[in-house]
Amino acid sequence: MREYTGIVVAFVLAGAFAAANIILASVLGPKKPSPVKAEPFECGQVPFALPIGRLSVKFYLTAILFILFDVELVFLYPWAVVYRTLGGSGLVEMVVFLAVLMVGFFYAWDNGALEWQ
């Protein structure tokens, strides 16, 4: 279990950073109460459904591309662990693998899939 100490430290630091930001925002943020703000807000009817509306298909594209590159990352992880023992052949394999994926990346890029219009 010794080798997981670094991961635990990273998780603790990440959690502490997020918590610190939230706490600092609530402590340092400006608070300007006014009588108008303190007035009770009268609501209308119970909502029939949330007015979220439709979402752009760009979210789908972003999510799918993220998942695909995430899957690519899954292969990079064991490769990085055994990289030294694999030698040159491992490097060539991964370069070929990434080259094929870069074709898709540049296709998505060229089609404006990475741009948020």
Partner 1 sequence: MIPFYVFAFIAVVASLLVIAQRNPIYSVLLLIASFGALSGLYVLLDAPFVAVIQIIVYAGAIMVLFLFVVMLLNAPHEETEYDEQTHPLLRRGPMRFGASLALALGVELCWALARGGESRAFAPGSVDAVAAIGRSLFTTYAFPFEVTSILILVAMLGAVVLARRGPFDSPLILSAPKDERLAQDRPFDSPLILSASKDERLAQDRPFDSPLILSASKDERLAQDRPIDRDGGAPALPGER
Interface with partner 1 by CB under 8 A: which residues?
A: 3-4, 46-50, 52-55, 57-61, 63-68, 70-75, 77-79, 81-82, 85-86, 89-90, 93-94, 96-98, 100-101, 103-105, 107-108, 110-113
Indicate the burial class of 11 (C-beta count within 10 angstroms; 0-12, 13-18, 19 or more). exposed
Amino acid at 86: L
Nearer to partner 1, 20 or 64 (CB): 64
**What does DSSP assign to residue 49?**
S
**Minimum distance between the CB of residue 20 and partner 1, rounded to whole angstroms?**
20
